[in-house]
Amino acid sequence: MEIVKATNLHKYFGKLHVLKGVDFHADKGEIISVIGPSGSGKSTLLRLLNHLETADRGSIRIDGQYIAKENAEGRSEYISGKETLKICRRLGMVFQSFNLFPHMSVTENLMEAPVMVSGVSKAVAAEKAESLLEKVGLTDKRDAYPGQLSGGQQQRVAIARALAMDPEIMLFDEPTSALDPELIGEVLNVIKNLAAEKITMIIVTHEMNFAREISDRVLFMDGGVIVAGGTPDDILVNPDHQRIRDFLRKIIREA
Amino acid sequence: MDIGYLWDITAYIALGAGVTLKVFFITLALSVPLGVLCALGKLSRFKILHGVLGVYTWLFRGTPLLLQLFFTYYGLGIISGGRIAFGPEMAAYITFVVNYAAYFTEIFRGGIQSIGRGQYEAAKALGMNQWLTMKRIVLPQAIKIILPPMGNESINLIKDTALCSVITVTEILRNANRVMSRDFNVGALVIAAAIYLLLTFIVIQVFRRLEKRYAYYTIR
Ligand SMILES: Nc1ncnc2c1ncn2[C@@H]1O[C@H](COP(=O)(O)OP(=O)(O)OP(=O)(O)O)[C@@H](O)[C@H]1O
Ligand SMILES: [Mg+2]
């Protein structure tokens, strides 16, 4: 059952052709890692899926519902903004730079969208927040402000904040790239624990061991297209493509 | 000097403080919301609005407030052949509101723009619409950023009210001036200065409190 399906996605930033016909799908509960060199369009792909950017060509379906559909000329036509927002609520996103709301406490960060968007009562939202903080191991930080937390803690809060909306799909855009090496593990562990919960996850990452361990499928992007996709072993251990081998060698050298 | 006389002129000059405060509060109460609207207009997608608001802030920030006062009080009447005529106080309110809103527009625009794209994206990813994002995420953070420049403008506003004296508004400085020319006594100016100092001191304290209230978090 395909919960995300995107076909022939094209994206331009001005004249820069960033996505050049990407076909992407994710099955319900599937965990997909997306790897590839800088500038290959990984973030752009994620951001198209939850409508942070709009596609120029191609179509996007979430659980069978179109948010963008290719018209006769091949241009992407979006359904109304309100409808898109509603469908995209089923996707949670975790950013490289956390993007917590600095003026709200940790608990308030977790309650904001459920209360203001979904109309959940404050009591219910607070209870949910507490259980999510337990899940990410931060109950003692419930009243702290983001500025008082380490990067790893902030990212765990950001994951909990996304989960507070009960997303069916979680998008992670390099969730550990902004972290000091010693803080990466705690964040990856939280994501690993989520893997047990049947949430569909699409993870852009440079953590190859993590990708290998957690993924059902790994996609390699380069130059605005998905060059190859397969099991973690296919892509990360014995890649057929020279480009993947070069990329992996470079990553290892940098690490 | 005779205490009774001092008391009399102080009371007379302080009477003007009532008008000064009226100009101060009316200006703040109206120019702040007007400034918010204009700032949102400047940040909107409507190109024509940008142009109109750009001319507006340029005109009112680029010419002396005193000139604007003259224009509203004398100029409009002359141009309209007497059809548009405001009393001194009304002319002062109108000019100050429009002038200060121009400054506030720029301050608010800067404050709102200093909130990073990541905040909007996080809000959108959580399903928040543009209105909610503004109300709950962007404006509360922008307030923290604009408080210091707002404090400065408020102090300026207290002092700028003195300009109203030239269009015969009976505020602090005008009353002090009258005493001075009647009695050849510079003491009246000293009393006026003391009242301005007291008022600006209060404004400074109020803003210091407000800034403290927003000190509980940091925006990076
Ligand atoms: N808002 C934007 N405006 C203009 N160009 C952009 C914008 N966002 C991305 N780009 C460009 O699009 C290309 C692809 O960017 P993208 O962020 O998707 O790459 P990426 O694979 O995520 O790279 P990285 O590993 O560095 O995060 C890059 O050349 C980038 O400079
Ligand atoms: Mg990226």
User: Per-residue pLDDT tens for B168-215?
Assistant: 999 999 999 999 999 998 999 999 999 999 999 999 999 999 999 999
Q: How far is A127 from chain B (nearest CA, A)?
A: 19
Kindly determine whether residue B220 and residue A85, on different chains, have CB atoms separated by under 8 Å: no
For A171, phi then psi, to 5°, come to -110, 130
| Ligand 1, atom 5, residue with closest C-alpha | A13
**A183 and A151 in contact (C-beta within 8 Å)?**
yes
Model pLDDT, residue B209: 96
Return d(Cα B61, Cα B48) in angstroms, integer.
20
Q: Which domains does chain B have, with CATH numbers?
A: 21-168 (1.10.3720.10)
Q: Does B131 touch chain A (CB under 8 A)?
A: no
pLDDT tens by residue, chain A, 255 residues: 899 999 999 999 999 999 999 999 999 999 999 999 999 999 999 999 999 999 999 999 999 999 999 998 889 999 888 888 888 899 999 999 999 999 999 999 999 999 999 999 999 999 999 999 999 999 999 999 999 999 999 999 999 999 999 999 999 999 999 999 999 999 999 999 998 888 999 999 999 999 999 999 999 999 999 999 999 999 999 898 899 999 998 888 876
Q: Does B45 touch chain A (CB under 8 A)?
A: no
Name A129's Cβ contacts closer than 8 Å, sequence gap at least 6: A107, A110, A111, A142, A160, A164
Kindly state the percentage of chain B with pLDDT values over 70: 99
Distances in Å between the Cα of B181 and the Cα atoms of A100, A147, B174 are 62, 59, 11
Name B136's Cβ contacts closer than 8 Å, sequence gap at least 6: A112, A116, B123, B128
User: Per-residue pLDDT tens for B37-59?
Assistant: 999 999 998 999 999 999 999 99
**A69 and A77 in contact (C-beta within 8 Å)?**
yes
Atom of ligand 1 nearest to the CA of A14: 4
Of the candidates A184, A131, A196, the residue with the CA atom closest to the CA atom of residue A153 = A184
| Ligand 1, atom 12, residue with closest C-alpha | A18
Model pLDDT, residue A1: 80
Model pLDDT, residue B191: 94
A173 CA distance to ligand 2 centroid (A)?
6
Q: How far is A147 from chain B (nearest CA, A)?
A: 6
What is the average pLDDT value for chain B, to the nearest integer?
Answer: 94
- Where residue B81 falls among pLDDT bands split at 50, 70, 90? confident
For ligand 1, say whether the CB of A205 is within 6 Å of any of its atoms.
no
Q: Measured on CA atoms in the order A2, A19, A251, A149, is the torsion positive or negative?
A: negative
**B1 pLDDT exceeds 80?**
no
A44 CA distance to ligand 1 centroid (A)?
6
